[in-house]
Structure 1
Amino acid sequence: MVAQVHGSTAESRYAALFPGQGVQRPGMGEPWRDTPSWELVESVSRASGFDVAELLLSADQETLSRTDHAQISVFTASLLAWSEFRRLDPETHVVAVAGHSLGEYSALVAAGVLSVADGGWLVGERGRAMAAVARQRPGAMAAVMGGGIDQVAELVESARAEGADLWVANHNSPRQTVIAGSRSAVESAGVRVADAGLRYSVLPVGAACHTPYMEAAGAALRRALELVDFRAGALPVVANVDAAVHYGGSRWRELCARQLVGRVRWVDTLHVLHEDLDATAFLDLGPGTTLTALTKRTLPTVPSTSRVPAPH
């Protein structure tokens, strides 16, 4: 069984949200193992070249922490959540989708812009390319909490003016911004953040995602993007890099390539979903409740629900 949508009405207009890398955990595929949607696991495995069932059911946290493993497993778990949601609640009115970082690929499949096979292959190629870059040029990321984006951006620019490899990577909520860059730059930024009276938490990743450090992975990703078909789709998708509404088509090749090295504008994305696309509620699909928390901090008066699977 899967937890039902609570607090909704027949008039609710949902935006479906899909999480990115970092929400993975051992056994996260277990709630869907005996559902009709589990056939998606074999489809993604064939397309990506990973044993996705092993990752979803048996892999430990160390195995799942690898960039390529994390991405394909979170992508697949999110598709399982979406598939079961549509199977169990086919009448729920979904008006748009969006995904955080990696989750954008889940959103594109949910919207019908990418097939499951093409989405799985792209995520596999993206994960491998990013993992290779992280081995060659390790990086780090940290969440800065308590300050607005302008304050954090000013701290980052100050560090860059002194020669540090440091960038704003994600604007996650009005009071949470993720910075990324070299390990030394991210570590040193902790002092600036503390001096500014803000909180700081280094994330458990070994790559500087959404920064120029990922440019080396861009060539491989662009080659992969040229080989898949971006279809018209059935739902609008709000893109990370420009927080604008897009439908299907080849424009997504450029958007996905830019996302690899560009800032995730998540706060703007949520506002566009709510204010421009008239979403009156949000649904967090996939492992964990990260996006539910970020949505509540950004739009506290708008209902936000996690599609959390009930235990067997």
Structure 2
Amino acid sequence: MSAGTPDGAPAPAPYALLFPGQGSQQPHMGAPWRETAQWDVVDDIARHSGMDVEHALLHADAETLRRTDLAQISVYAVSMMALAALRERWPGLPVVACAGHSLGEYSALVAAGVVSVADGARLVAARGTAMREAVDATPGTMGAVVGGTADGVRELVAGADAAGTPVWLANENAPGQIVISGSAAGVDAVAAAAPEHGMKVIRLAVAGAFHSPLMEPARAVLRRACATVAFRDAHTPVVANVDARAHLAGDDWRALTDEQMVGPVLWERSVRTITDGLGCRSFVELGPGKALAGMVRRIDKSALVTTVNTPDDLRRVAVTPAAV
């Protein structure tokens, strides 16, 4: 397919596609898509996940959407509609990499051809349900650490853990934005120590201690779900959360998704793999919210990020000519 734009404008610069995770969900976020051709994707996802995705996208309130399984399948559905619309509107958009934050990694795998939309829906549904059950069995929480470095946060985490209040580093999102995860006592201990080191902890309104060993029961469930899915080799590299490396081999992803359940999301390093390693500084964030756009701009101020939350957002994509 041609890399040019539909109106004959100069070809766009190479792009990376980014997909948000849990926490980006919003009430009624499916409404702008309801009368589009892309809405058929919702029916497919509902059928393969066994969940009432339409109700979640159109009628669920904010409190209902905090439920882990509903939040995850809903965000996945919006990302899939946005991806389908992007491909229809800009079929020749050159894409050099895909990446997703936590849950968003499953959308990235679909975008890169590693799994089908249907298999992605099955995995997201199994993952969300398993995480919800793990939270019920072992309560926990998360907190955003502002103003510190990853190494500085690791020192605070080590001190809290040594004192018998388990907590782990969960996300390295961007400079000065680290997320910790673990027991409520562990997060409280880091919060108490943080001001002495020039940091502050903001407790997050999440259901549990995601990306920590407290998710071990969910890991086992996801492993069984992955065993039923065919992971194909990618047509576009996917940068993995757990090692910030670009992967093309489908066989890599059983182990990578397994580790992601209990390990940290190395988002800052993943973005740098795209910008520095692959030489791409134009991004499209596909899905609800603009959280990833903000992170990317903190990581690389020269990056250009377009967000596609609704069909109307598509007009802003593919306007940056490739460098000659």
- Name 1:33's counterpart in structure 2: 34
The CA deviation at 1:119 is 0.3
Contact (CA 8 Å) 2:141, 2:184: kept in 1 or not?
yes
The CA deviation at 1:80 is 0.9
SS at the partner of 1:114? coil
- Name 2:99's counterpart in structure 1: 98
SS at the partner of 2:250? coil
Q: Distance in 2 between matches of 1:200 and 1:9?
A: 46
- Name 1:195's counterpart in structure 2: 196
- Name 1:275's counterpart in structure 2: 276
SS at the partner of 1:264? coil
The CA deviation at 1:12 is 1.1
- Name 1:179's counterpart in structure 2: 180
SS at the partner of 1:50? coil
Amino acid at match of 1:194: P
The CA deviation at 1:164 is 1.5
**1:1-312 mapped onto 2 (5 Å cutoff):** 10-309=11-310
- Name 2:317's counterpart in structure 1: none
Amino acid at match of 1:212: P
Residues 1:9 and 1:193: Cα distance change in structure 2 (over 3 Å): farther
The CA deviation at 1:304 is 1.6
Contact (CA 8 Å) 2:66, 2:207: kept in 1 or not?
no
SS at the partner of 2:172? strand
Residues 1:311 and 1:237: Cα distance change in structure 2 (over 3 Å): closer
Q: Distance in 1 between matches of 2:158 and 2:292?
A: 27
Q: Distance in 2 between matches of 1:274 and 1:44?
A: 32
Contact (CA 8 Å) 2:145, 2:153: kept in 1 or not?
yes
The CA deviation at 1:233 is 2.5
The CA deviation at 1:11 is 4.3
Q: Which runs of 5+ in 2 are unaligned?
A: 314-324
Q: Distance in 2 between matches of 1:263 and 1:308?
A: 26
Equivalenced residue count is: 306
The CA deviation at 1:36 is 1.1
Residues 1:308 and 1:255: Cα distance change in structure 2 (over 3 Å): same
Q: Which runs of 5+ in 1 are unaligned?
A: none
Q: Distance in 2 between matches of 1:293 and 1:74?
A: 18
Q: Which moved more, 1:127-136 or 1:277-286?
A: 277-286
What percentage of residue pairs aligned between the two structures are identical?
47
The CA deviation at 1:147 is 1.1
Q: Distance in 2 between matches of 1:310 and 1:202?
A: 33
After TM superposition, what 4+ stretches of structure 1 lie above 6 angstroms from structure 2? none
TM-score normalised according to structure 1 size: 0.95
The CA deviation at 1:311 is 7.0
Q: Distance in 2 between matches of 1:87 and 1:152?
A: 43
- Name 2:318's counterpart in structure 1: none
Amino acid at match of 2:169: V
* CA-atom RMSD in angstroms: 1.6
SS at the partner of 2:113? coil
Q: Distance in 1 between matches of 2:190 and 2:276?
A: 35
The CA deviation at 1:197 is 2.2
TM-score normalised according to structure 2 size: 0.91
Amino acid at match of 1:258: E
Q: Distance in 1 between matches of 2:98 and 2:86?
A: 14
Q: Distance in 2 between matches of 1:280 and 1:258?
A: 28
Residues 1:9 and 1:297: Cα distance change in structure 2 (over 3 Å): farther
Contact (CA 8 Å) 2:165, 2:189: kept in 1 or not?
no
The CA deviation at 1:62 is 1.1
Q: Which moved more, 1:193-202 or 1:66-75?
A: 193-202
User: For residues 165-185 of structure 1, what are the alpha-carbon distances to aligned partners after superposition, in whole Å with 9 as ceiling and x for unaligned?
Assistant: 100000000110000000121
User: For residues 19-64 of structure 1, what are the alpha-carbon distances to aligned partners after superposition, in whole Å with 9 as ceiling and x for unaligned?
Assistant: 0000111001111111111111011101111110111111011110
Q: Distance in 1 between matches of 2:295 and 2:253?
A: 25
